[in-house]
Amino acid sequence: MAENGEEKLIAVARHIAKTLGHTDTMTDDILKIFSNFDGRLREKLTEKLSEDGVEQTLNALDRQISRYISADNPIWSNSADAAAFLGSVDQLIAAVRDWTPLADDKSISSCLDRAEDLLQQSMFRLEDEFRTLVERGAESFDLTLSESTHPHPDYSDYDDDDDNVFADEDENFIPVAQQITDYDIVIDALPAGTIGDLHAIAKRMVAAGYVKECSHAYSACRREFLDESFSRLGLQKLSIDDVHRMQWTQLEDEIEKWIKAINVALRILFPSERRLCDRIFLGFSSAADLSFMEVCRGSTIQLLNFADAVAIGSRAPERLFKVLDVYETLRDLMPEFELNFSDQYCLSLRNEALTIWKRLGEAIRGIFMELENLIRRDPVKAAVPGGGLHPITRYVMNYLRAACRSRRTLEQVFEESIDYRKGDDQVLSSSSSLAVQMEWIMELLERNLEAKSKIYRDSALCSVFMMNNGRYIVQKVNDNELGTLLGEDWIRKHTAKLRQYHVNYQRSSWSKVLGVLKVDNSSTSPSGASKSLREKLKLFNSYFEEICRTQSSWVIFDAQLRDELRSSVSGSLSLAYRNFVAILQAVPDFGKNADRYIRYSVDEVEARIGELFQGTSGGKR
């Protein structure tokens, strides 16, 4: 009676251990608990296992599994073989789990060693089958179906016939991403049936402790997919040195390709890989995260290294706009970096993207510093003919005007406390950092122009030079983002400077002419007055002809400014000359012979003034 009770207890203990022993240690823990009640219980359990035929069980599993391991054809080419093989592997995994706590027993220990060796061979074969399924499944799957505008295609439409999965034997085929025009899609490069088979294999490999091997097999195949996808997008694998050796025009083309590639990668390819990993490794989040990281790491580093090369490359001012493109692209994709690379394995990739994004901001600030140096170093060489527009003025103003089209981005770059999560739609409460930067550059430009103006020996021409360049500056500032940054006060101040240059020009050029036309009404003899007027008339003719001859080649590039200047000169000079001629004609000694001395009529004076500033400006632009 006692013996029957002991047998029943042993049977119950074995049943509990086998049923609950789903982890590597649970079975051993249960046996230890029972053994604490009576040391004989563990002996009975071990004895019972031996009696049940551990070796016979192992031999049977060995025969079943070895047949599949040594098979030349893929096991998954036949669904019945695949199911049978997985069933045998399940039994082997369970046997190893049950026998491990009893490894102290010599008879069981030897069987356990054989079982573990057989399990290893099974895992190697499963790994091969896994790799084959990934490669051939993608090969047989029509990727054009994934170009649907629907974010999640209906997998029920796909042909999951296992025989068709292995229809194409071209081992050199690599699945590629089709050209994408809409980012709101997900690519599934494997049929649903293949995904189910891969999940079944992954489940066994994870249970047997071969997580890394399974992940490596998966990631090796999927990396090829991403590499070929990048190749189709025109993106080359370039080192940082390769990027730095490129001609600028070539690098501009590469930046355009990079922008397209990183958008496709972060918004389509990587989310699709994330979804595929989660489906294949369903229930094993750590394995899914590891696999996703191994698949995407190389491609991500390739993309980030290119951006880093741009960031640490030349800071020549002409590179600003493409660097801004790279900066804005990476900034706009930071939410995608956080979404795709949210797990522990991808943390370094996410941090690297953030670091390079900030480094691009430093590069942009450095480019503006180089622009400052360019202005400072621009030499005071030969004067611009006719006091026209200086090339440095045209270059700097067009540069700043174009740069300010990216005002929001530049504000973000120059604000140290900015956070990309605030988004583009949020207007910064203060743009002082960027405004100060722009004001400083404008001040440097004005200093440079003032130094250049001193080349002209003629003070009037110096004023014309400053008037031309000042007018161009104000025009380029008005009615755009640059003007908004500099502010109305700045515009008013510089408009007032223009008026002062105008006054200086008239004073330098025409004050002595107007002085000659002034008549002294003090009492003098008629003969003395006549002689004085004749001398004044000669001086006027001489001064007027010299000024007209000289200033006809001077430049006023802006038509409105040119008309204003001519009108101003004509208005003051014509009136003074008309009065002077009237006085001259009233002198008795001149009488009817006055026309012999008067070389220019008032109309002719005005006509000559209208011929001033006819020089070639070289184009406004």
Q: How far apart are CA 58 and CA 429, in angstroms?
A: 75
Contacts of 358 (CB under 8 A, 6+ apart): none
Q: Tokens at residue 619, please?
A: 């184009």
Angle, CA 315 vertex, CA 314 and CA 320 arms, to 5°: 120
Contacts of 336 (CB under 8 A, 6+ apart): 266, 267, 270, 271
Nearest to 229 by CA among 276, 184, 189, 172: 189
Burial class (CB in 10 A: 0-12, 13-18, 19+), 225: buried
What is the third-level CATH fold of 512-611?
Monooxygenase (1.20.1280)
Phi and psi at residue 555, to the nearest 5°: -120, 130
Q: Where are the alpha helices (DSSP H) in 21-105?
A: 26-37, 39-51, 54-69, 79-99
> Angle 432-453/407-414 helices, nearest 10 degrees?
100
Mean pLDDT, each 10-residue run in order, the chain (621 residues)? 51 50 48 50 50 76 90 92 93 88 79 89 94 79 40 35 38 46 70 92 94 92 90 91 94 96 95 94 93 95 96 95 97 96 93 96 96 93 90 96 95 71 44 87 96 94 96 93 94 96 95 89 62 88 93 92 94 92 78 75 93 71 52
Residue 293: half-sphere exposure toward Cβ, Cα within 13 Å:
17
Q: What is the pLDDT of residue 19?
A: 46
Domain ranges for the chain:
47-143+185-209, 241-369, 375-417+432-509, 512-611
Which amino acid is residue 154, in one-letter code? D
Q: How far apart are CA 110 and CA 27, in angstroms?
A: 19
Q: What is the pLDDT of residue 396?
A: 97
Q: How far apart are CA 256 and CA 155, in angstroms?
A: 34
pTM exceeds 0.85 for this model: no
Q: Calculate Rg over the CA atoms of the chain.
A: 44
Distances (CA, A) of 161 to 77, 127, 153, 192, 610: 10, 22, 19, 11, 90
Q: How far apart are CA 113 and CA 118, in angstroms?
A: 9
